[in-house]
Amino acid sequence: MAGLQSLSLVALCSVALLITAAYVLTTAVIQYWRLRKIPGPQAAAWTNLWLLIRMNSDEPFYHFRRRLAEKYGPVQRYGPNRVMFSDISAIPAMYGTTNPIYPKADNHNIPVAYANGTQVLSFIALKDDDKAARLKRNLHSTFTTQGVLSFEPHVDHTVLELVGHLNAAGSSANLAQWMSWFAFDTIARIAFSEDQGFMKQQQDVGGAMQAGQRRFDHWNFYFAIPWLDGILYKNWWVRNSKRPASALMRLALRAIETRKLKGGLGSHHDLLDLYMSSAERDPELYTPAAIIVRFLDS
C-alpha cells in the first residue's frame, strides 16, 4: 500500500513538472513568434536572463543600448516581450496621452511601497491613469518652466557653497565626489529647505546616499525579472512585517515631523510643502504614507 502511494506521488509530481515545462515552452514559443520580425540578439528573444546578465554587467546600460541600435537599427528586441526604440519619432506614440495608451511594464512594480500591507501610490510605480491624473493635477503648476523658479534660491545657496569649498580645496579636487555631495544637498533643500551637510562634512551623512544607491541597485538587478522581486519582497509576509527604517526613510520621517512642528503650511517653497498642501485638497490620495513615498521619490 505504501509503495502504491509513493508511486502515485511520483506520478503526480511528474505530471506537474510536465505541465509546467509545457506551459513555459509554449509561452516562450508564442512570445518569440509574436515579435520574430523585430531584430535583436537571439538569446534575448527567448529569455530575460540575457537582459539580467547585461543589466548587471560592468557595461553601463546606455552603452549596450547604443550598441544594439548601431547593430540592429532604430527598433531592437532586447527580451521575449521587450522592444526598444532609438528613433525620437516614436516618442509621441509610446508616451502619448491619447488612445492607445500603453500600460507601464511589470518592472515598474519593483519600487512599489507598502504601508501596513497596503500599497502606497508612487509616481514611478503608479499604473492607474485616473489616479495619476489626480496626482499630477495638484503638482502640475509647480513643475512648469515658471513654477520651478521658486526653487532657484535653494540651488543658488548650494552653488555658492560648492564654489566656496572648491576655492578652499586649492588646485586639486575630486569633482566627481564634490558633485555627488552637491547634488544631494541641493535635492534635500528643494525637498524640505534644509541641506544635509554633505558638502560641509564632506561625507555621506547618515548613510542616506548609500541607502539611495541601494534602492537603484535593487531596481537594476530585478529589472529583467520583476516577478522574482514580487515573490521575495512583495509577498504577504514581507508587506505586513515591521522592518527597521532605512536611512532615507528616517530622513523623510524626521523632515515631515519637523515641518509639522514648525507649521506655516503654504509658506515654504519646497516639495514637502507642496505635498502637504496637496493632502489638504485631496486627503484620500495624499495620505501620510503617500507623502513619505512622494518625498522618497523626489
Domains defined for the chain, CATH in brackets? 2-98 (no CATH), 118-297 (1.10.630.10)
C-alpha 152/C-alpha 154 separation (Å) is 5
- 126 DSSP assignment: -
Please report the pLDDT score of residue 5 as a whole number. 55
Please report the pLDDT score of residue 181 as a whole number. 93
Q: How far from 257 is each of 39, 242, 260, 296, CA to CA, in Å?
A: 53, 20, 5, 15
Please report the pLDDT score of residue 155 as a whole number. 92
Please report the pLDDT score of residue 117 as a whole number. 67
Please report the pLDDT score of residue 97 as a whole number. 67
Spans in the chain with pLDDT lower than 70: 1-7, 97, 115-117, 121, 245, 298
C-alpha 98/C-alpha 89 separation (Å) is 16
- From the list 117, 298, 107, 112, the residue with the least C-alpha distance to 208 is 298
Dmax over Cα atoms in the chain, in whole Å? 86
**Cβ–Cβ < 8 Å for 197, 28:** no
- 78 DSSP assignment: E
Please report the pLDDT score of residue 157 as a whole number. 93
Q: How far from 37 is each of 24, 206, 209, 268, 272, CA to CA, in Å?
A: 22, 51, 43, 54, 48
**Cβ–Cβ < 8 Å for 292, 122:** no
